[in-house]
Structure 1
C-alpha cells in the first residue's frame, strides 16, 4: 500500500476544554476586522461554545478580537497550549493526550439525561476529546477536517485508494467537540423535539464517537449527507469491501446493540 506522507505538523488544532487554537489560514473571516487579523494570524483562538473568534496570535503579540478577552474562561489554558509544541511536550509527534471529562456530568444533568441509565441502555461510554488533532484536508463543505493523527493518515490513504478504483469519497464531518454536540441538542430542543426524540438519532453529549477524532461521516458526490440512501452507492460498496483494510469499521449497522439508527455513512478508525 502506498505510504501517505505525514500530515504537516504546522496544520494541527490545539484543543483545550473551552478554547480551540486554529492554525492561521483555515478559518473564514466574518467581518473586515476579522479578515485583516486572520490574514496575519499564526493561530486563532476560537471559543468552542459558540465558535466566536476571541483573539489572533500575531508575530507582535496577541490581538483581541472581542472585548473582555482577559476575563474569558479557559484563556490561561489556551495560552499554555499555544506556548507548548506538539513536538516537544507530547512525547513524540504521534502521542495524543485527552481532555478531562469532569464537566460533562453537570451538562448532562441540565439536559435531564441520567448518565448511568443512558450507559446501561446503550452500552456507550464517555469519549474524551484529544488535546490536539491533525488537519486531514477539507470536507464536502470546504471546512477543515480534523482527526486524530492516526485516523487522518488512514483516511487520506483510504481516500486515495478509492480514487484509484474510480470511487469518490468525501468527508461530511470528522471531529466534533462536546460543546458542538450540546449545540445540536439545544437547537433541536428549541424546535420542540424531546430529549428522547433527539437521543434516537444523536448520541448524548460526551458519548459520540466523533468526540475522539477517530470517526467520520463519509459521503460521495451527488448523494445527500447522512442519509440511508448512501447504502445503495458504489462508494458504500467499496467501503464494505476495503475499509477494514484501512482500519475503518461501520459503527452502527442495522440492529446494532446501542439502539442507534442504521448509519451507513458513519465509520470509525480503530487500527490498520
Structure 2
C-alpha cells in the first residue's frame, strides 16, 4: 500500500461519525431503555405460554369420550345384503388412558347390521382390528350379537416388522353362506397374518332377517386421549347382493358420523368413484 493510500484511509476514518459513550445513557433515568426490549419480550413469552397451556388443556378435554366414532353408514331400509367387504390400511393405534369408568379401546371395523342399536333390539356382525388399554399389542377381532348378548373373540397380536401387518392393507369380508340367512362368516386377511373365524349365527330384526346396513370406520371407547400413527383408509368398498351373492361396488354415499375425537371423510365419495369411494378416519 502506498503512502497516499494510507493517508486516504486515515482521512476516511476521521470522517466516519462515532457515538460518544455518554450518548448511550446520558443520565441514570435512561438506563431502563436498555432493558425495555427484554421486559417486553418476557411479557409476550409469558402470555404465549399461558395461551399454550389453555389450548392444550382444551384439546385434552375435547378428546375425552366414552364413545366417539368416525364412521360411514350405508343404510337402506328396502335393500338387504348378504354381506360387505372393504380394504383397510393397518396403522399403529394407541388407546390412551382409561376414562369414564371403562377400558380405553380403539377399533377399526367393518360392520353389517340392521341399522338399530343393540340396546333397542338391533343386531350386527363386526370384524376388524383394535387395541385396548389392557394389552400392549394390536389384534384382529370379530363379534356378533344374539337376541340377548354380544359375543366377542380376539386373535393373537398382529405381526410387526417390515414384512408384517403394519403399514400394509388388510382385507375384511363379512358374509353369509349361500342359501342361509342365519350362518355368517368373517374373513380378515392381513399382509403377514390372517384370521378367518367360521360359521356363527346372527339374526337381524328386519322383515327378511338380513342386514340392510353396512358401516366402515373407527370407534373409540372410554378414552381420555387416543392417537394413531397415520390416517386410516377404507377402499374397494363393496356389498354382497342378496339375490345372487355377487359383490358390487358401493354407489351410495350414505351418512357420515364424526365426533370431536374421530373424524371421518369421503375423498372421493362412492357417487364420484367406480370403485366404492375412499373413506378415511383421523384421530
Report the TM-score range of the alignment, normalised by the length of the smaller protein: under 0.3
Q: TM-score, normalised by structure 2?
A: 0.24
Q: Which has the higher helix share?
A: 1
Q: Which has the higher strand share?
A: 2
- Indicate the structure whose relative CO is greater, using CA pairs within 8 Å and at least 6 residues apart: 2
Q: TM-score, normalised by structure 1?
A: 0.24
Q: Which has the larger radius of gyration?
A: 2
